[in-house]
Structure 1
């Protein structure tokens, strides 16, 4: 019960930025002695501090209480591979330090993990923050996982990566609580906290990753929280079947959306259309094709229209299934994909839904991706405990 009351008081202070004890009592409906005792403990732990005085209304001048954001810190990791991004944030989610590495694709599984560990140790050392001030490590991981157990079941782009007890490995190395979740969910969490604070509780975040093994992920924010399914693998949009007679996908299905609209497959189809064009080798990504389309090339425009159509169909299925009114297109090329899919998406949903659907471009930059994992750690730290009554 004490932990539950502490949770109420602490989150009340966080929500209000600065607040008096009397207002905490009113908002939490706890007794004044209970609130005073909790505030005393939080102050002794340096989590809460006296930040000033409220407006004078007679009698004793009321003291304002605020969260000491720099009392503790969270570590966040965005394990995309080959890029691995890391950040340290304070309790408000403000980035203190961020770094990243790009791992050689020829490295073994153990070498990849060791490279990440060494980079993380360097970042912690450079931050100058004592280990006792870190409250945990959050990891946004690609591939299939059992999030609660901290086990990474499979990462298709790393052939020998199977059933890795990643949580155990990280915890043994750093001695901190470790939390894992799907990488797109972590991107969506950061987007929500930073840029979607005034949006509806229900929205879909479509994260489109570029690169040699591009991914198309989805995170669903439903009734005020993200839904991950039993193991954290819910909403694998990239493996929605678009063409039942399509090419085999490494996941075991056929005609998956990633095969139809993922960057490497799109580039390959486009180069096949070009045939013997000597400039074909210069085409490395969706942006190159888009530049040619803007220059008036018919083949480039046709390929991009196909991409928009496939994405529009896939996302429309999600919108119709959940009755959504907001879709966020995230990733470094979010604005480009927004232009490709917007009309196709609206065309593939019911007319009465089309006018209500708000499609927006995500604002989260790549260097901010690990911040979602920092928020995951902070949320766990302030999480309301389960009470056995």
Structure 2
């Protein structure tokens, strides 16, 4: 089998399994609407949980940053790409979340990969929630450490793994709010178990930061847990893009020396760092946005319960409607589109086999009538 035959076979198999992915070109998007193919849809597929991607203060900050710094950083942060805007943002994030240091990364994927690649050695063990993000699981597989996965949100299963012999160090990994299920990790129990075994805890709070906790400080703050490593991203509630790792001084210095994703990647544009600073200010002052989001979540879940819709057990902005079959999930998504609602069918391998779903996401920018419309269409589409 040559290269072309191998690729064609893989594509055929993807199509046969109704797992084929296709991109859609949009011509304007926000937390509430998305414009595609000449039509405007109610948007229930965005991670822009607070609507900050369209906030005028965030947009203006990016524009001012571009005027001052230009549109690119020009190099790695280790060479010439580390600006005053980057330094200020790192300090603001560290102060906000109560850590000695914050390090900026170009994406959450890169941050997770960088930390595991730099830290893990032969003889170490990574103990990861089975539903941890693909970036974490891939990094674990690529590392020299042994990957041991525990049943989703089951601390007793983690306890059993921690008791197994390990020649090196142990790192426990979980998400704060899980990206495909929308549920929250039992961080208090996980941290207690990690501490009992002298292990470190890494929490990826991409979907919790900004939306939860006092002043939007996220899942860990809400549960009064301070992991040794906290990863946050700016592409969800912040409405921008990029990520940061919050940690101790000595770990930050170690990552600066050995994290290849930092050393060999062009830094985020300084103008982007300016926009993230503005988004951070909006989040810190955004109790009204979080209250609005929680109101939408309650409204949707109450209505869904009355319709007996098969929702996952989630109190977050992520509300998965479980379907099971790939083709049925695609058909349901298409039915919603004919009624002016944009929702994405999520299929394996992003989620486990047999658990295809519509990943419905709510935003503070939605209005009560939007939620009612979604429920009306789901009532018709699922009969």
TM-score, normalised with respect to structure 2: 0.27
Q: Which has the higher contact order (CA 8 A, sep 6+)?
A: 2
Higher strand proportion (structure 1 or 2): 1
- Compute the TM-score of the two structures, normalised by the length of structure 1: 0.27
